[in-house]
Amino acid sequence: MTQDPYEILGVSRDASADDVKKAYRKLARQLHPDVNPDPDTQERFKDVSRAYEVLSDPQKRAAYDRGGDAFSQGFGGAGQGFSFTDIMDAFFGGGAAAGGASRGPRSRARRGQDALVRLDVALADAAFGVTRDLKVDTALTCEACHGEGTAPGTSPIACETCHGQGEVAVVQRSFLGEIRTLRPCAACRGYGSIIPDPCRECSGDGRVRSRRTLTVKIPAGVDHGTRVQLAGQGEVGPGGGPAGDLYVEIHVEPHPTFTRHGNDLHTTVSLPMTAAALGTQLTLPLLEADLASSAETPDGEKPVTTYDLEVRPGTQSGSEQVKRGFGVPSLRGGRGDLVVSIKVDTPTRLDPRQEELLRELAAIRGEESPDGQNEAPTRGMFGRLRDAFQG
């Protein structure tokens, strides 16, 4: 992939600021994730937005033209919207950097902030994926001024204080002699221009807060705390700047009968004492069962909604069975297991006939007055494994 912002936007080296903006708007309309949600397009949208971030800022563009690496100027990188100059400003208090070298006016266009929203999803939806509509309160480009911040029919005028330079020289006397530093112009806040007639819709910010609905595809296998990144869906930047990213943090709601440990699912199956003693074959619902009834199913293929459990004669309460591949799909491929714990139910209400039969059984087995025994606590194989790992 090219890293040349000119190539990414498809404009020539001598393109005017207006041409750059037009090219960006045209591409943004085609590639916007609302129009084209596939990941490749979102990735391109992000690249285009970053290219615009560089070329729309006269200073970043000049730095790139001088042979600088666009990426080191806040293009790409951590994608946090920090540019080298922002960092210099933070450390040296604006304009003091590089011995007072002129940096020129700064652009009003800045990349918007990333946003984080929380999404509650059912365990089955997190495990097997789901498409959800999400309402997001965010900053969108102001329709009235197209992000310019100017009232219709007006445009910014050059700042008289700094003559459009965006910065003013300050001379200070010190023991080293006179020090001349450049500071951002207070009159225009470093923009070099002033908006005499701000847009009424956005008060000159170029964006307005609005609620919109996004359709989010949650991939199968996400877990509690997973963040799904939606490129270019965060806040639109001020001054028509590109949008930040939106992160959707997944919160998984507890399920009444299944719990998740990594990619494994755990559940407990209770069965009568007699079945545990004599053995039986059970068919039980899987986690997907509730999902399969509502979700679209692949053509003609019946989804698997149950699993079979072979209860051998003499099955103990607390014993475990592992059903391979019946767990949660992994984000990296493959699938976890289903771990089934058996709980043997002791009958509580016995009618006279049942009590008679049980007493007879006890007599035959010589258990009328049994001895109890102290034993190590039973926690099942997985409980013991966990203990071993946790030391």
Is position 144 an interface residue for Zn ion (rule: CB under 5 A)? yes
Q: Is 187 near Zn ion (CB under 5 A)?
A: yes
195 lines the binding site for Zn ion (CB under 5 A): no
Beta-carbon count within 10 A of 263 CB: 18
- Part in contact with Zn ion (CB under 5 A); list of ranges 24-32, 108-116, 138-146, 228-236: 138-146
Tell whether residue 320 is a contact of Zn ion (CB under 5 A).
no
Cβ proximity to Zn ion: between 142 and 311 the closer is 142
Q: Which is nearer to Zn ion, 159 or 230 (CB)?
A: 159
- Interface with Zn ion includes 142 (CB under 5 A)? yes
**Closest separation in Å from C-beta 144 to Zn ion:** 4
CA trace torsion 123, 126, 127, 129 (10° rounding): 140
**Shortest Cβ 70–Zn ion spacing (Å):** 27
Q: Does 201 bind Zn ion (CB under 5 A)?
A: yes
- Residue 236 as a binder of Zn ion (CB under 5 A): the answer is no
- Pick the piece of the chain touching Zn ion (CB under 5 A) from 34-42, 52-60, 140-148, 174-182: 140-148
20 binds Zn ion (CB under 5 A): no
Q: Is 202 in the site for Zn ion (CB under 5 A)?
A: yes
199 binds Zn ion (CB under 5 A): yes
| Number of Cβ atoms within 10 Å of the Cβ of 30 | 13
Q: Do residues 335 and 328 make contact, with C-beta atoms less than 8 angstroms apart?
A: yes
Site string for Zn ion, 151-180 (x = CB under 5 A): --------x-xx------------------
Q: With contacts defined by CB under 5 A, name the span among 10-18, 86-94, 182-190, 334-342 that binds Zn ion.
A: 182-190
Least separation in angstroms between CB 249 and Zn ion: 31
CB of 323 to Zn ion, least distance (A): 59
Mutual angle of helices 39-55 and 58-65, in 10-degree steps: 90
Q: Pick from 185, 195, 248, 340 the residue near Zn ion by CB under 5 A.
A: 185
Binding mask 348-367 for Zn ion (x = CB under 5 A): --------------------
Q: Does 70 bind Zn ion (CB under 5 A)?
A: no
For position 182 contacting Zn ion by CB under 5 A, the verdict is no
**Residue 140 in contact with Zn ion, rule: CB under 5 A:** no
Annotated binding site for Zn(2+): 142, 145, 159, 162, 185, 188, 199, 202
Binding residues for Zn ion (CB under 5 A): 142, 144-145, 159, 161-162, 185, 187-188, 199, 201-202
